[in-house]
Amino acid sequence: MQDENREKQQTEPQEVVSWYVRPEGQEVVDCYVQPRPMPAGAVPPRPAPPKKRSRKGLWAFLIAAGVLAAVVVTATVIASLRGGGVIPPADGGTGDGSDASSIVNISKVEKTTIPRMQGEAGVSLVCTAPTGEKLSIQDMYEKVNPSTVLVVADKGEQASIGTGVIMTEDGYIITNAHVISGGKSCWIALDTGYTYDAKLIGYDEDRDLAVLKAVDAAGLPAAEFGDSDLCRVGDTVYAIGNPLGVELRGTLTDGIISAINRDVQVDGRVMTLLQTTAALNNGNSGGPLINEYGQVVGINTLKMSGNGSEAEATVEGLGFALPISDACFVVNDIIANGRFRGVPALGVMVIESDENGGQVAVYTVSEGGGAEEAGLLPDDVILRADGQEIRSINDLMAVRRTHLVGDTMTLTVQRDGQVFDVAVTLYASGD
């Protein structure tokens, strides 16, 4: 039976898979593999948008994209969501993951020629703490699904399908960089079936994030973005996306936050991610991970699976999402500059205490950083940042997320009974 399966895999196009082998050699991480490239001439034409917003428009879209959906469905030999091109194994193996010698590795996101446009001043991703009551599953879905879009990157003879999240009413959209990898043009489809051409604002392959802009869009249902720093292990979360492409678009899955700040090595780099049990499959890439308040707290990016050996059981329920609070820096920098220049850093380590109802104090000052240049010292108590009261480290981080590298952040500090303002220039972390 195993020989039969291997023979079948040898005769069919192989998916592009990026593997991470853990030191003990037992578990591997499959980066998302987008649907396998279709043969020449198989890319369906983009449907014309309907004149009215209706479900009828959606069915017309599904029918027009039926060929694409069918191809996607047959491309699920390995459970992953990344890639798009057919790359043969370097050693001539089958690429089925049955042994270490047949593993295919992708080091970088493929260059894209999707037409670009500049981001608009004043447009930024804002993450907020939840307010109000938790939503029922039905209400949550009705709130977020309209903000979840199908993303199609046309490569000419091939196409890559993923998911995206509407950030603004005028059509800024967040997705994974690997979803648009190698694309020549791009378009998105709403849950109603409406379609828009999309241009590329920019992307960062190391953090696997991209920002698109739907052309001439207005009045789109923008998602609400939450503070992922508030996520705790055990929190209920949901994922909405397009598993297997078009046919099952708008699929909802649920789970919990299994771990926070999980370091996962992918393509030679470490990504710090939220781990979740919510089911993720081909086509979920770039879609939202949602809390019980209907806020997007992560962008679904990776999943873990077994290496296909008989000695290893199938791995389930190990998905990973980019925390939206971390993605905030990347997205805003891409919009402002077309690229990500680095995480803005104050140049201090801080500690939090319960003294006087909550205080944040400077623990150490980094040499050569903006804080040192501004004259901050250890034991300085940070009272306010840009006029906002600081009672916790999360408060300070929330203000920092509103800034980019090179911005000035004004801190009100207390030292030896004196209160004064300090202007700190934010450098890129690591600079």
Question: What is the DSSP pairing of strand 288-290 with strand 195-204?
Answer: unpaired
Q: Is 141 helix (H, G, I), strand (E, B) or coil?
A: helix
Distances from the Cα of 315 to the Cα of 81, 105, 306, angstroms: 15, 20, 5
Catalytic annotation on 326? no
Rounded distance, CA 277 to CA 255, Å? 5
Cα–Cα distances (Å) from 411 to 261, 355, 370, 379, 421, in that order, read 27, 19, 12, 14, 6
Q: How far apart are CA 88 and CA 92, in angstroms?
A: 7
Which position among 18, 102, 147, 285 bears the catalytic label?
285
- Identified catalytic residue from 30, 191, 208, 227: 208
Q: How far apart are CA 314 and CA 308, in angstroms?
A: 8
* 349, β-bridge pairs: 364
**Phi-psi label, residue 342: left if phi above 0, alpha if psi -120 to 50, beta otherwise:** left
Long-range contacts of 256-263 (CB under 8 A, 24+ apart): 257/231, 257/232, 257/233, 258/233, 258/317, 258/318, 259/233, 260/231, 260/232, 260/233, 260/323, 262/320
Are the C-beta atoms of residues 161 and 150 closer than 8 Å to each other? Answer: yes
Would you call 228 a catalytic residue per the annotation?
A: no
Catalytic choice (30, 178, 185, 380): 178
178 tagged catalytic: yes
Residues recognised as catalytic: 178, 208, 285
